[in-house]
Amino acid sequence: MAPGGGVGRVRGLLASDDDEPNVAVVLLAAGVAAAVLSPLLWLFVSAADLSVGDAVGLVASGTTTDVLVNSLALVTLVTGASIALGVPLAVLTVQTDLPFRRLWTVLAALPLVVPSYIGAFAYVSAFGPSGALPDLLAEYGLGFVNAYIPTVYGLGGTALVLTLFTYPYVFLTTRASLLSFDTTQLEAARTLNHSYPRAFRRVILPQIAPGVTAGALLVALYTLSDFGTPAIMRFDVFTRVIYVELNSFGVGRANATLLSIQLLAVTAVILALESRVSGDTAAGYGTPSSAKRVVSLGWLRWPAAGIPAFVSVFTLALPVGILTMWLVRSGPGYSGGGLAFRPEFATNSAYVAVLTAAATVLFALPVAYYAGRSDSLLARAVDRATYLGYAMPGVVLGLALVFFSSRWLLETFGAGAAQLVYQSLPLLVFAYVVRFLPQAVGSTRSSVLGVDRDLVGAARLLGANPRSAFRRVTLPLISPGLLAGAALVFLTTMKELDTTLILHPTGFTTIVTYIWRVQEAGYYGRAALPALVLVAVSGLSMIPLLKGSDDA
Amino acid sequence: MTDDATHDHMSDDDTTTGRRTYRRRRVLAGLGAAGAAGLAGCGGLGGSESDSGSGGGGGGAGGGSSGDDAIGAAFDDFRGSGPLAQGRSDIGGTRIADLPNLSGELTIYLGGGEGGLYRDLLAKFERIYPDFTATPRESGSADAANTIINEGGATPADVFWSVDAGALAAVSAEGLSAELPSEVVDPVPEAFHPDETWVGTAGRARAVPYNTEELSDDDIPDSVMEFPEVEGFRDAIGWAPTYGAFQSFVTAMRLLEGEDATREWLQGMLDAGVTEYNNEFLVSNSVADGALNGGLANHYYALRVQAARPDAPIDLAFTSGDAGGLINVAGASVLSASRNQELAFDFVRHLLSAEAQEFFATRTYSYPMVADIPPVGGLPPVSELNPPSIDLRELSDIQPTLELMRDVGVL
């Protein structure tokens, strides 16, 4: 894969041709950004109905300030804690001689497949009032301890649960950076008598920082957009308050619009900050492995394995245990109605998630290619723009698309157009693309950055036109990044609830809509099996995410 | 306690001790003793023990639907199973056989849907009418309402059937609901269709589940506002403040008694050592376990507990004329953009048929909206309850309620 010296020499010949992507790519990328931003226009259409006085009053109100402060506190805590958890786990599993590294790698990444609303529910059932833990303690005569257990609700609990189920974003991006890190540099540092910690700080950290930041950004934006956890853990952040406002109708709808616009502004600020922190050499999830175990833990080998094991107790054993408890324990005493769980729901989920993964990669490719090949302001703006939809609560995005694909289409193009588009599968897939595009853009862009331009130059020199050079050289090289992005999108689509509920084609039941249906009526026992199926199917998508580690 | 003595005075005693009398009836109905004795108690209210299968119910159904045997036989199909659904013979109301046939297709937005029970009912209608197809679409009741509001005139929905009256009112306020003909709404008391744009299909009452081994009905005041001072509730009452129905109850209190009194009440309950639960099933279950003496919950949770554990020492009290006695409803609207309005009206009439009302009463333990169909388990009929006079549409104004609850530290 390394470029030959001869090729290097002809780089100059082709540099002018290859440095900037051609107009078609730019237009495609800008088109994608415009398409995924378009639903957000709805917020401004709705806001236009408000009087300026009301709007200013709402924005300046005490509640709004509280919500902003709460949201920022939560994002800061979750992002910080995810880095604190994800980076050491990545270092342990990539760079040390930890026993069963592959197992720990899988277990450390797996919490990503647990939907946050299930994770939060499991935590409330375990630690909440009259939960499993207080009951257990009381049973063994330790009831007095309960008074000292901090409440699971509020900032602490919300941050804990979100961290436990989103830190894998940081883990995965950091891991990819570490895998593509040239370990000879570390060895050089060690020969200069640097201890490992010192070498880590001076050599490794600067190089993996972009990868860590990329993961941290996904965590931060996911935290802003997540509704389930703060709702269940009762912490007033943007999503929860927006939802409550939407529930109270009337003026609430206007409030929800304004809060969503504020959320959008917060997202924009975070994106701008991240741009300044990270150089544009962010690593993705699928860069090829160059890892060698470089640190011998010595006698600490086995005790160190306790760290990922300990984390897994809280991220995997506990939620799965609670689900199993629900499954075994009989539900409340009246016969529930409705459909029993059918395998078809799982295939529906997987089907739409595969479609979404494919569509997202197609949308991501021009954006990532453009952003990876150009340093222009437009490239940067296009790349960042795709992240805005990711921080929108699913319910807001869903309602925006309801407006455009039904009323707006009807009024603009007639009833036929609205009927064709509204509540169709392609519309649902588009909604998912808007939500999850950044997950694919990030990993694809870093693989584009990883492609040596001299190789493309060589192909051109040998007579290939740009298209053919892309197909025969670039595409195969970035395919691991594409696949990793697709896998990430697949598993987040599998667990996305709000958008699915609002936009699914009528009669199209998926695992999550089924879980919602039975859980809404309090039949937790009947939610357990589909939840376990969801976790299992999503778990399979971890395979491409973790490929590229050839360690045992 | 002198159950039998007061029992006879039930009907002429409504204004003063009415609340107690129907509790007494429930003691007879549900808790007399375990097993056979419990069933015998049920029998006292209507049917007999021979009602396994089509016995008790079939007789009543046959009488009402003489025109169509197939539909008459189907009556039991609508009725739930279990002890609380037994011995119900004197069912009035309009039978499906007496309603216009359903033929055609309807798209029905379900706001909520009680875990699929609404779908079950639709499937039963489809079995009765081969030419009828109902396409349900489920989401949360507020999501569904907001979806319809965003769709405006482009909505594919013919009917909006929601577990929450506030959602129906929100759609109606946007001018998107059609006016229901009088033959649709007439069987339902006016409180449950404040205007003609929606009609209640089943009700749920706020109630006070209490442990019969710890408290007697006399210990529970008629007014929920007095609860913080009740000795028997000190450190032994439970609630579920995150539950929507509880928040509606606090909203009702806020509207009826004012913000200050509500704040005082919430604080008083905290001072009285109220225990918090995640949902009202757990509250009711803890009352049955004896962990609590009493609680605040929707009425049907105690019945769910009782259906699972027939000898559990749990009973229900209802407060009178205040937020504690609030009755909220699920209901249905027909959308003005629908091109199948006639069919949709007939469909809503089917939701109010004796069979459908029996379905809600015996499977979800809801309050039937039609007076001729009694609630299960010896519950007092809707006409004997004394709910506060409050416009259910105002219950969607929960934001100030949440702020208040947060302020006091309940949330």
Q: Please report the pLDDT score of residue B66 as a whole number.
A: 36
Q: Using CB atoms, which residue from B116, B143, B149 is nearest to A501? A: B143
Axis crossing angle, helix B280-289 with helix B299-308, rounded to the nearest 10: 50
Separation of alpha carbons B230 and B292, rounded Å = 14
Nearest CA in chain A to B82: A334
Instruction: Give yes or no for residue B72 having a pLDDT over 60.
Output: no
- Burial environment of residue A405 by CB neighbours within 10 A (0 to 12, 13 to 18, 19 or more): buried
Q: Please report the pLDDT score of residue A75 as a whole number.
A: 95
From B166's Cα to the closest Cα of chain A, the distance in A is 8
Is B408 near chain A, with CB under 8 Å? no
Strands B159-162, B327-334: pairing is antiparallel
Please, what's the largest Cα pairwise distance for chain B? 61
For residues B134 and A506, is the Cβ–Cβ distance under 8 A?
Answer: no
**Coil, helix or strand at residue A287:** coil
Q: Please report the pLDDT score of residue B121 as a whole number.
A: 92
Is A339 near chain B, with CB under 8 Å? yes
Higher-scoring residue by pLDDT: B93, B223:
B223
**C-beta atoms of B154 and A335 within 8 A:** no
Q: Is the dihedral of CA B320, B324, B326, B329 positive or negative?
A: negative
Separation of alpha carbons A302 and A305, rounded Å = 5
Among B81, B121, B151, pick the best mutation site for testing chain A contact (most A Cβ within 10 A). B151
Query: Mean pLDDT, chain B, as a whole number?
Result: 80
Average pLDDT over residues A164-180: 88
- Which chain A residues in 109-128 lie under 8 Å from chain B, judged by CB atoms? 124-125, 128
Name the least confident of A210-214, A507-511, B32-36, B355-359: B32-36
CA A351-A499-B248 angle, to 5 degrees, is 135
Residues B221-267: pLDDT tens digits? 999 999 999 999 999 999 988 788 898 899 999 999 999 999 999 99
Strands B237-239, B275-276: pairing is parallel
Phi then psi for B204, rounded to 5 degrees?
-135, 130
**Coil, helix or strand at residue B356:** helix
Nearest CA in chain A to B285: A332
Separation of alpha carbons A411 and A430, rounded Å = 21
Q: Which residues of A touch B147 (CB under 8 A)?
A: 398-399, 402, 502
Separation of alpha carbons B82 and B79, rounded Å = 10
Nearest CA in chain B to A252: B399
Instruction: Give yes or no for residue B32 having a pLDDT over 80.
Output: no
Q: Which residues of B touch A395 (CB under 8 A)?
A: 143
Residues A340-370: pLDDT tens digits? 788 899 999 999 999 999 999 999 999 988 8
- Burial environment of residue B329 by CB neighbours within 10 A (0 to 12, 13 to 18, 19 or more): buried
Nearest CA in chain A to B281: A332
Residue B36 parent element (H or E):
helix B35-45
From A210's Cα to the closest Cα of chain B, the distance in A is 39
Length of chain B measured in residues: 411
Average pLDDT over residues B312-331: 93
Average pLDDT over residues B404-408: 87
Q: Using CB atoms, which residue from B80, B142, B278 is nearest to A335? A: B80
Q: Please report the pLDDT score of residue B115 as a whole number.
A: 65
Residues B331-346: pLDDT tens digits? 999 999 999 999 999 9
- Which chain A residues in 165-224 lie under 8 Å from chain B, judged by CB atoms? none
Q: Which residues of A touch B152 (CB under 8 A)?
A: 406-407
Is B156 near chain A, with CB under 8 Å? yes
Tokens at A495, concatenated? 């667990």
**C-beta atoms of B154 and A407 within 8 A:** yes
Q: Using CB atoms, which residue from A248, A334, A501 is nearest to B307? A: A334
**C-beta atoms of B305 and A506 within 8 A:** no
Is B177 near chain A, with CB under 8 Å? no
Separation of alpha carbons A503 and A99, rounded Å = 46
Length of chain A measured in residues: 552
Tokens at B201, concatenated? 């299909």
Instruction: Give yes or no for residue B137 having a pLDDT over 80.
Output: yes
Higher-scoring residue by pLDDT: B294, B195:
B294
**C-beta atoms of B135 and A507 within 8 A:** yes
Instruction: Give yes or no for residue B18 having a pLDDT over 80.
Output: no
Beta partners for residue B276, in sequence order: B239
Q: Is the dihedral of CA A461, A464, A467, A470 positive or negative?
A: negative
Return the residue matching tokens 């639709």.
B122
Nearest CA in chain B to A333: B308
**C-beta atoms of B115 and A517 within 8 A:** yes
Is A506 near chain B, with CB under 8 Å? yes
Highest mean pLDDT among A45-54, A127-136, A473-482, B43-52: A473-482
Residues A443-475: pLDDT tens digits? 888 778 777 777 888 888 888 887 888 888 888
Instruction: Give yes or no for residue B64 having a pLDDT over 50.
Output: no
Higher-scoring residue by pLDDT: A49, B218:
B218
CA A214-A220-A223 angle, to 5 degrees, is 140
Cβ count near A35 (within 10 Å): 15
Separation of alpha carbons B31 and B377, rounded Å = 10
Q: Sorting pLDDT into bands at 50, 70 and 90, what band is B392?
A: confident
Phi then psi for A521, rounded to 5 degrees?
-95, 5
Separation of alpha carbons A111 and A538, rounded Å = 10
Q: Please report the pLDDT score of residue B69 as a whole number.
A: 40
Beta partners for residue B138, in sequence order: B110
Q: Please report the pLDDT score of residue A19 as a whole number.
A: 55
Within 8 A by CB and 6+ apart from A320, the residues are A532, A535
Cβ count near A317 (within 10 Å): 12
Q: Which residues of B touch A129 (CB under 8 A)?
A: 275-278
Is B275 near chain A, with CB under 8 Å? yes
Average pLDDT over residues B87-94: 75
Among B79, B118, B168, B278, pick the best mutation site for testing chain A contact (most A Cβ within 10 A). B278
Higher-scoring residue by pLDDT: A521, B379:
B379
Q: Sorting pLDDT into bands at 50, 70 and 90, what band is A199?
A: confident
Instruction: Give yes or no for residue A305 having a pLDDT over 90.
Output: no
Higher-scoring residue by pLDDT: B213, A287:
B213
Tokens at B146, concatenated? 């907001």
Instruction: Give yes or no for residue A178 having a pLDDT over 70.
Output: yes
Separation of alpha carbons B343 and B181, rounded Å = 12
Name the least confident of A15-19, A119-123, A324-328, B279-283: A15-19
Closest by CA position to A547, among listed A297, A371, A331, A285 = A285
Q: Which residues of B touch A236 (CB under 8 A)?
A: 406
Separation of alpha carbons B259 and B28, rounded Å = 39
Phi then psi for B39, rounded to 5 degrees?
-65, -40
Instruction: Give yes or no for residue A61 having a pLDDT over 80.
Output: no
Terminal CA-to-CA distance of chain A, rounded, Å? Answer: 24
Average pLDDT over residues A183-207: 78
Average pLDDT over residues B284-299: 93
Q: Sorting pLDDT into bands at 50, 70 and 90, what band is A278?
A: low
Beta partners for residue B177, in sequence order: B335
Residues A468-509: pLDDT tens digits? 888 888 888 888 788 888 988 999 999 998 899 889 998 899
Separation of alpha carbons A88 and A314, rounded Å = 17
Tokens at A142, concatenated? 């330790």
Is B73 near chain A, with CB under 8 Å? no
Query: Mean pLDDT, chain A, as a whole number?
Result: 81
- Burial environment of residue A321 by CB neighbours within 10 A (0 to 12, 13 to 18, 19 or more): middle
Q: Please report the pLDDT score of residue A353 as a whole number.
A: 95
Q: Sorting pLDDT into bands at 50, 70 and 90, what band is A294?
A: low
From A507's Cα to the closest Cα of chain B, the distance in A is 7
Separation of alpha carbons B9 and B11, rounded Å = 6
Phi then psi for A376, rounded to 5 degrees?
-65, 160
CA A413-A419-A423 angle, to 5 degrees, is 125
Terminal CA-to-CA distance of chain B, rounded, Å? Answer: 38
Tokens at A377, concatenated? 């302001």
Separation of alpha carbons A182 and A188, rounded Å = 11
Instruction: Give yes or no for residue B22 having a pLDDT over 80.
Output: no
Instruction: Give yes or no for residue B388 having a pLDDT over 50.
Output: yes
**C-beta atoms of B399 and A252 within 8 A:** yes
Q: Which residues of B touch A332 (CB under 8 A)?
A: 281, 285, 304-305, 308
For residues A266 and A71, is the Cβ–Cβ distance under 8 A?
Answer: yes
Is A497 near chain B, with CB under 8 Å? no
Question: Alpha carbon A448 to chain centroid distance?
Answer: 20
**C-beta atoms of A502 and B139 within 8 A:** yes
Highest mean pLDDT among A21-30, A66-75, A276-285, B7-16: A66-75
Q: Please report the pLDDT score of residue B30 as a whole number.
A: 42
Exposed e or buried b per residue across A172-199, where buried means at least 16 C-beta atoms within 10 angstroms of its C-beta: bbbbbbbbbbebeebeebbeeebebeeb
Rg (CA), chain A: 24
How many Cβ pairs closer than 8 A exist between chain A and B? 160
Instruction: Give yes or no for residue A186 having a pLDDT over 70.
Output: yes
Instruction: From residue A236, give the alpha-carbon distance in Å to each of A132, B60, B397.
Output: 25, 53, 18
**Coil, helix or strand at residue A201:** helix
**C-beta atoms of B282 and A128 within 8 A:** no
DSSP 8-state symbol, A52: H
Separation of alpha carbons A463 and A467, rounded Å = 11
Nearest CA in chain A to B411: A234
**C-beta atoms of A253 and B149 within 8 A:** yes
Residue B294 parent element (H or E):
strand B294-295
**C-beta atoms of B304 and A128 within 8 A:** no
Average pLDDT over residues A78-87: 95
Name the least confident of A32-41, A321-330, B12-21, B47-56: B47-56
Is A64 near chain B, with CB under 8 Å? no
**C-beta atoms of B399 and A244 within 8 A:** yes
Separation of alpha carbons B402 and B247, rounded Å = 8
Q: Which residues of B touch A418 (CB under 8 A)?
A: 154
Q: Which residues of A touch B402 (CB under 8 A)?
A: 244
**C-beta atoms of B277 and A520 within 8 A:** no
Is B363 near chain A, with CB under 8 Å? yes
Nearest CA in chain B to A335: B363
Tokens at A292, concatenated? 């060698």
For residues A399 and A502, is the Cβ–Cβ distance under 8 A?
Answer: yes
Higher-scoring residue by pLDDT: A389, B51:
A389
Residue B76 parent element (H or E):
helix B75-78
Highest mean pLDDT among A134-138, A339-343, B286-290, B397-401: B286-290
Q: Please report the pLDDT score of residue A170 as a whole number.
A: 93
Separation of alpha carbons B293 and B241, rounded Å = 18
Q: Is the dihedral of CA A213, A217, A223, A227 positive or negative?
A: negative
Q: Which residues of A touch B276 (CB under 8 A)?
A: 129
Closest by CA position to A499, among listed A39, A34, A164 = A39
Separation of alpha carbons B121 and B356, rounded Å = 7
